[in-house]
Structure 1
C-alpha cells in the first residue's frame, strides 16, 4: 500500500471502530434499562430500533453529501455528533430520553458508512485489503464496545459509563479534521493529490436522475440482499446478551451477567470473518462468496439454539461459528455494491446500501423483541434462517447472471 492508501485506511479504521463501539454498547445498556425503567422487551426493542432505524435512513442523505462535499468532513462531523449524543445519553432520566439520545446518535452515525466505504472504494487502490482492514477495525469496536461497557458497568452507574464512552470521539474528530489525502486516487490515478473531490449536481431532480441511473435491476437485487443482511444482523444481536446468559454454565468469580462476556467474545471472532471476507473479494466475483455466506448464516440460525443448549462447549462453539459467519458477509456485500455502481455515484450507492442494512435492518430489533415476547426463541431463529436463505437466493441470481453482464460490458 502507498502512503495515500495508509492515510485513508488509518482514518477509516479509527472511525469505523468508534461507530461500532457505540452501536454495540447499546445492547449491553439494554440489560440495565430493562430492569431500571421496567419496560418490556417489545417496547424497549421498538424504542432502541428507532435510533438504529435513523442510523440507516440517514445513510442516504449522507451518501448524497459525500458525493457533493467529500468524505473527510462528514467523517469528522459523524465522530463529533456521536460523542455529543452519548453525553446526552448519560443525562437521560427515563426511557423516552434514552430513545431521544439514541435518535441523535443514529443521525450522527448514519453518515459514516457511505463516507468511509466510498472513500475506500475511490481512494484506496488495494480495495480488497482496505475493506478487510476496515472490517477488522469495525469488529474491534463491535467486540470492544460491549466488553468495555460490561466491565465499566461493574464499577460505575450506566450514565457515567455513557459519558466515559463519549470521550474517544473527541480524539477521532481531531484526527479526521487534520487528515490529508487524495479521496479519488483509485479512480483518478493521475489526479493531483491536493485536488478536492469533484462536486456533483444538486437538487431533487438531479438526485432522482442519479438514483434512476444507479438502480439497475442488478443494483436493486444488491439492495435487497443488503436489507436482508441488516435484518439478520440486528435481529440476532439486539437481545443476544439476554439470550446467552441463561445458557452459560461457567461459574465466574464475580456476580455478573455472564452472557455479556460470551457476547463480546462472539463479536471479537468477527475480526477473522471480516479479514477472510475481505480477502475473498480479491479472488473472484464477490456475489458467489455472498451467496455462500448467506447460506452459512441460514444453517447457523437453524443450529444455534440446539447446539448451544448442549452445554458450555456447545455454546462456545456455536458462538464462534455465529461470530465468524455474521461478519464474513460484510466485505462481500460491500465489494458487490462497488461492482454494480459507477464511481461518480459511489457515495450515493453506499448511502442506499446502508439505508438497507441499518434502516430496513432496524426492523430486526423490533421484530426480535416481538417474537421473543410473544412466540419464543425458536421462532425467532427460524425467521432469521429464512431471511438468510432468501439472501442466498438473491446473491446466487446475481452470480448466475454475472457472465452475461460481463459480456455486455466487454462488448460496449
Structure 2
C-alpha cells in the first residue's frame, strides 16, 4: 500500500472499530437500565430497537451526503456524534433521555458504512486488502468492545463506563479532521463501468434519477444479496446467546467466588473468529470472481444452519467446531459483497450505492431479529435455522445468476 492507502485504511479501521464497539456494548447495558430506571423489558426493547433501526435507515441519506460533501467530513461527524450520544447516555436521568441518546447514536453511526466504504473504493489502490483490514477492525470492535465493557463494569458504575467509552471516539474524530489524503486517488474510468465523478445526488431529482439507474440494473440483484446477508446475520446473532445459555455444555460455573457464564465467552470467541473470516474474504476478492465467492459463502452458511443443532446435540467439541465455522462464514461474505458493490456501480455514486447496501444490511436486515424472536416464540430453534438456511440458499442462487451473466 502507498502512503495515501495507509492513511485512509488507518482512519476507516479506527472508525469501524468504534462503530461496532458501541453497537455491541448496548446489550450489556440493558440489564443495568432495567434496574436503574425501573422499566420493563418491552420498553427497553423498543428504545434499543429504535436506535438500531436508525443505524440502518440512515445509511441511505449517509451515502447521499458522502457523495455530496466527501467521506472525511461524514466520518468525523459520525465519530463526534457517537461520542456526544454516549456522554448524554452517561448523564441520562430517565429512560426518555436514554432513548434520545440511542437515537442520536443510531443517526451518527448510520453514516459511517456508506462513507467509509465509499472512501476505500475511490481512494485506495489495493481495494481488496483495504476491505479485509477494514473488516478485521470492525470485528475487533465487535468482539473486544463488549468484553472490555463487561470487565470495566466489574470496577465502575455504568455511567462512568459509558462516559469512558465516549473518549476514544473524540480522539478518533480529531484524527479524522487532521489526517490528509486524496479521497479519489484510485478512481479510474473503468471502475464500476463508468467513473461519472461529476454526478450530483444532492437534489431530489438527482437522487431519484441515480437511484432508478442503480436499481434498474444488476445492482438490484446485489441489493437482494446484501439484504439476505443482513437477515441471516441479525437472525442468527441476536438470539444465539440465549440459545447457547440453554445448552448443558454451557452451565454456569464458579470461579474466584464469582459465577461465570461460559456461553458469553463462546459467543465472543465466535465473533473473534470473524476476524479471520474478514481477512480471507478480502483476499478472495483479489483471487476469485466476487459473485462466485458469494455463492460459495452462502452455500456454506446454508450447510452450517442445517448442522448447528445436530452439532449442539452431539456435544461440546462438535458445537465449538460448527460455531467457529459459522463465525468464519458470517464474516467472510462481507468483504465479498462490499467489493461486489464496487464492481456493479459507478464511482460517482459509490456513496449512494453503499447507502443502499447498508440500508439493506442493517435496515432491512434488522427484521431478522424480529423474525427470529417470533419464530422462537411460536415455533422452535429448528424452524429458525431452517429459515436461515432458506435465506442462504436464495442468496447463493442469486450470486450464481450474477456470475453466469
**SS of equivalent residue, structure 1 residue 255:** strand
Between 164-173 and 46-55, report the one with greater CA deviation.
46-55
1:233-284 CA-to-partner distances (Å, cap 9, x unmatched) read 1122223323322331473513133322221111111000000000000113
Give 2:17's aligned residue.
17
Could you report, residue by residue, the CA deviation over 1:298-344 in whole angstroms, capped at 9, with x for unpaired residues? 22122222212433323322221111011001001001111110011
User: Would you say 1:232 and 2:232 are equivalent positions?
Assistant: yes
Kindly indicate whether residue 357 of structure 2 is the aligned counterpart of residue 353 of structure 1: yes
After superposing the two structures, state which structure 1 stretch, 82-91 or 292-301, moved more: 82-91
Q: Is the 1:269–1:320 Cα contact (8 Å) retained in structure 2?
A: yes
The CA distance in 1 between the partners of 2:368 and 2:339, in whole Å, is: 24
Q: State the shift of 1:168 in Å.
A: 1.0
Aligned to 1:54: 54
Q: Match for 2:253 among 251, 254, 258? A: 251
Alignment RMSD: 2.2
Provide closer, same or farther for how the CA distance between residues 354 and 54 of structure 1 changes in structure 2, counting only shifts above 3 A. same
Deviations along 1:49-92, one digit per CA (max 9) or x if unpaired, are 32222111111111111111110010000011111212223344
CA distance in 2: counterparts of 1:16 and 1:117, whole angstroms: 10
User: Where in structure 1 are there 5+ consecutive unaligned residues?
Assistant: 190-196, 402-412
Cα separation, partners in 2 of 1:280 and 1:265, compared to 1, 3 Å: same
- 8 A Cα contact 1:227 1:361, kept in partner: yes
The reply on whether 1:320 has 2:293 as its aligned counterpart is: no
Change (3 A) 1:23 1:329: same
- Secondary structure (helix, strand or coil) at the match of 1:313 reads helix
Report the counterpart of residue 216 of structure 1 in structure 2.
216
CA distance in 1, matches of 2:128, 2:53: 28
Structure 1 residues 180 and 13, CA gap change in structure 2 (3 angstroms): same
Structure 1 residue aligned with 2:184: 184
Instruction: Report the TM-score, using the length of structure 1 for normalisation.
Output: 0.89
The ranges of structure 1 where at least 4 consecutive aligned residues each deviate by more than 6 angstroms after the TM superposition are none
Aligned in 2, Cα 1:122/1:168: closer, same or farther, shift over 3 Å?
A: same
Gaps of 5+ in 2: 190-196
Which residue in 1 is equivalent to 2:282? 278
Does the alignment pair 1:241 with 2:247? no
Structure 2 counterparts to residues 333-372 of structure 1, below 5 A: 333-372=337-376
1:124 aligns to what? 124
Task: Classify 1:366/1:29 alpha carbon distance in 2 versus 1 (closer, same or farther; 3 Å).
Answer: farther
In 1, the alpha carbon distance for the partners of 2:159 and 2:200 equals 42
For the structure 1 residues 218 and 28, does the alpha-carbon distance in structure 2 shift closer, same or farther, using more than 3 Å as the test? same
* Structure 1 residues 366-399: Cα deviation after superposition (integer angstroms, max 9, x where no partner): 2223333333333222222222222112111111
Structure-2 residue corresponding to 1:264: 268
Q: 1:348 to 1:162 in 2, by over 3 A?
A: same
Count of matched residue pairs: 393
Alignment check: 8 A CA contact 1:48 1:102 kept? yes
TM-superposed deviation, 1:228: 1.0
Equivalent residue runs for 1:97-176 within 5 Å: 97-176=97-176
Give TM-score scaled by structure 2 length.
0.90
Q: Give the direction of change, closer, same or farther, for the CA distance of 1:50–1:258 in structure 2 (3 Å limit).
A: same
Q: Distance in 1 between matches of 2:182 and 2:276?
A: 29
**Displacement, 1:102?**
2.0
Say which SS state the counterpart of residue 144 (structure 1) adopts: helix
Q: Is the contact between residue 235 and residue 388 of structure 2 (CA under 8 Å) also seen in structure 1?
A: yes
**Cross-structure match for 1:71:** 71
Structure 1 counterpart of 2:396: 392
* CA distance, structure 2, for counterparts of residue 213 and residue 156 of structure 1: 52
Q: Distance in 1 between matches of 2:24 and 2:102?
A: 12
SS in 2 for 1:234: helix
Counterpart-to-counterpart distance in 2, 1:364 and 1:298: 16
